[in-house]
Amino acid sequence: MTTNTLVAKIWSFCDTLRDDGLGYGDYLEQLTYLLFLKMADENKEQYHLPVGYDWESIKGKEKGDLSEQYKEVLKKLAEAGGMLSKIFDGAQNKISDSAKLKKLISLIGEENWSSKEVDIKGEIYESLLLRNAESSGAGQYFTPRPVIKAMVQCIQPKVGETIADPSCGTGGFFLGALEYLDMPRQEKLQRDIISKETFHGWEIEKSTARLCLMNLFLHGVGDLIDTPDIKVTDSLKVADFKKTKIVLANPPFGKSSSDVPTNDKKQATKEGYFLREDFWVTTSNKQLAFLQHIIAMLDEHGRAAVVLPDNVLFEGGAGETVRKRMLDELNLHTILRLPTGIFYAQGVKANVLFFEKGTNEKPLKTKEIWYYDYRTNVRHTPKKNPLKYEHLEEFVKCFKPENKEQRKETFHAKENPEGRWRKYAYEEVIARDKTNLDVIWLKDENLIDLENLPEPETLIDEIIDNIQSALESFKAIKESLD
């Protein structure tokens, strides 16, 4: 059975369970529990679950007995310690209809998951996560895999380097790094380093962190003893973190819904604030807070690639302060302008910022910023015209990860005014009003070409995108005034 067929088969059963009030996220969580039990059953010599609380203990049960046994299994595994406790902590059976629970167990039981290659099992699970993002809206900023791949190709992680994500979600960036490191082809020592020492993540939602752990497990990271370092907490409130060599992240968009980080000790004593002395400025803008946190996380000679919305490039006040400090204390060397229509929320205009850190004695300073505009005159939609890695290959080539000193502009005012790769000197950027990094030089074809307008549906999508984006910008301005 192909990956797509298997995913469709398992996911379609969710529609049956929706009648019982089970949401997409709840369904995916139940799949996580059952997949784990099935895989552990297929590898009994490797994974020793508590006797009587395993796949065999539930697959033969009937109706009422099944529900009670399943509840007992979840409870026992949550108390077992190690990765079992992390995955099953707080786990509950949310499938109240025993007949439907038995049907789901039968669907999963029809496949021998361990007979498939690790990356295929992981691909199936990632596909289920993507289905959840599409269907529930919970993953409206779910980072597209082509974007992750391009970011990783540019960062080029090496075995032995730590990789962190302060808002790791279901672990997409970790999987992108795993694919690049090609763990199955490494020697055992390198595989152990990748599996046990490389990844460090924080996720505020327990259920999402559970999905991240399961995703990593299905890709060969961690076992029932050695658990990947995924913490369930608000990473902005963690000040005792270990420095990391690499950060790959797509922080949550919007205004902070919880306490606000501040570098002012007096303000930190007030309700609704907490102290972060390593921050440059106090802000309720979640992206600016995460950006400062990521900068603080980086070790000497560390590097980062971070997805951030447009307002981070132009917002005044705290935004201007952060941008100036970045230019003066880091090497913010590259900005990739992403197209609209690649996220599941309309109107999202985002960029990838690439920067690196020096040392305390010798901080780096930005000399020039290279821009790649893959937004102007580019149209994508998640379903009809999805973004693919091949669309970003030219950017990766221009980036020249092996030797950034050999970069060459494709833009030329006379010879190639449509070139998407262009650099701006520090002096040009710092002279812009509020150190605005929202740079545009390409001409939008549809503003003047009335004879070759796109299809009506495309136009409508663009109008919705622009209105939604304008609303987000006005919200950002209001928040900065507040």
Which domains, from first to last, does the chain contain? Answer: 3-115 (1.20.1260.30), 139-481 (3.40.50.150)
Q: Which residue would you say has higher pLDDT here, 300 or 446?
A: 300
Alpha-carbon distance of 102 to 62, in angstroms, equals 8
pLDDT of residue 259: 87
Strand, coil or helix: what is 246? strand
Residues 39-91 have pLDDT tens digits of 888 877 767 788 899 999 998 787 668 989 999 999 999 988 777 888 888 89
Stated pTM of the model? 0.84
Q: Identify which has the larger pLDDT, 143 or 399.
A: 399
Strands (E), 166-295: 199-203, 229-232, 244-249, 260-262, 273-275
Q: What is the pLDDT of residues 95-117, one digit of tens each?
A: 888 888 998 898 888 877 766 55
In this prediction, residues 158-175 reach a mean pLDDT of 94
Q: pLDDT tier at 144 (50, 70, 90 boundaries)?
A: confident
Model pLDDT for residues 3-12, shown as the tens digit of each residue = 677 777 777 7
* The pLDDT value given to residue 219: 80
What is the Cα 107 distance to its own chain's centre? Answer: 29
- The answer to whether 359 and 301 have CB atoms below 8 angstroms apart is yes
Q: How confident is the model at residue 240 (pLDDT cuts 50, 70, 90)?
A: confident
Q: Which helix (H) or strand (E) holds 306?
A: strand 298-309
Looking at the chain, the whole-number percentage of residues with pLDDT higher than 90 is 50
Q: Name the nearest CA neighbour of 304 among 173, 140, 400.
A: 173
Average pLDDT of the chain, as a whole number: 86
pLDDT for 441: 95
pLDDT at 450: 47
- State the Cα–Cα distance between residues 413 and 185, nearest whole angstrom: 46
Q: Determine which of 222-226, 272-276, 457-461 has the lowest per-residue pLDDT on average.
A: 222-226
Six-digit token string for 212: 């991240």
CA gap 434, 456 in Å, rounded: 37
Which of the two residues, 304 and 445, has the higher pLDDT score?
304
Q: Judge whether residue 468 has pLDDT over 70.
A: yes
pLDDT band of residue 126 (cuts 50, 70, 90) is: low
Q: What are the CB-based long-range contacts (under 8 Å, 24+) for 38-44?
A: 38/108, 38/109, 38/113, 39/113, 39/114, 39/121, 39/218, 40/224, 42/112, 42/113, 42/114, 42/115, 43/114
Q: How far is CA 314 from the centre of its chain?
A: 23
Tokens matching residue 180: 């690049």
Reference 101, options 128, 75, 70; nearest CA is 70
Closest CA to 73 of 350, 215, 266, 61: 61
Dist. CA 307–CA 152, nearest whole Å = 12
Q: Per DSSP, what are the bridge partners of residue 425?
A: 368
Q: What is the pLDDT of residue 143?
A: 87
Between 180 and 458, whose confidence is greater? 180
**Both tokens assigned to 362:** 């010798």
pLDDT-derived band at 383, boundaries 50, 70, 90: confident
Give the three-class secondary structure for 203.
strand
Q: What is the mean pLDDT of residues 161-180?
A: 94
Query: In terms of pLDDT, which residue wins out, 143 or 460?
Result: 143
> Is the pLDDT reported for residue 417 higher than 80?
yes
Lowest mean pLDDT among 34-38, 42-46, 264-268, 289-293: 42-46
